[in-house]
Amino acid sequence: MEKVINCPCGFVLRGSSDEEVVKKAQEHAKSAHAMDLSREQALGMARPA
Ligand SMILES: [Zn+2]
């Protein structure tokens, strides 16, 4: 199932699976916000696309 995360900074990321959306969210959080996002946090922000 595709999921989407709308980051508060305006960045939108999509993934076709939980794994993909978590990975993209962690990469974005790290590179854009110098933040370590847990899998649970990433999934908590994800919504069905
Ligand atoms: Zn962001």
Question: Sign of dihedral through CA atoms 28, 34, 38, 42?
Answer: negative
C-alpha distances (whole Å) from 18 to each of 27, 47 are 14, 11
Find the 3 Cα to ligand 1 centroid distance in Å.
16
Find the 34 Cα to ligand 1 centroid distance in Å.
10
Mean model confidence pLDDT for the chain: 96
Whether the full predicted model's pTM is greater than 0.85, yes or no, is: yes
Find the 1 Cα to ligand 1 centroid distance in Å.
22
pLDDT tens, 11-30? 999 999 999 999 999 999 99
Given a cut of 90, whether residue 1 has pLDDT beyond it is: no
Find the 35 Cα to ligand 1 centroid distance in Å.
10
The residues spanned by each domain of the chain are 3-48
**Cα atoms found within 13 Å of the Cα of residue 19, Cβ hemisphere only:** 0
pLDDT, residue 46, reads 97
Find the 42 Cα to ligand 1 centroid distance in Å.
12
| Mean pLDDT, range 3-17, rounded to an integer | 97
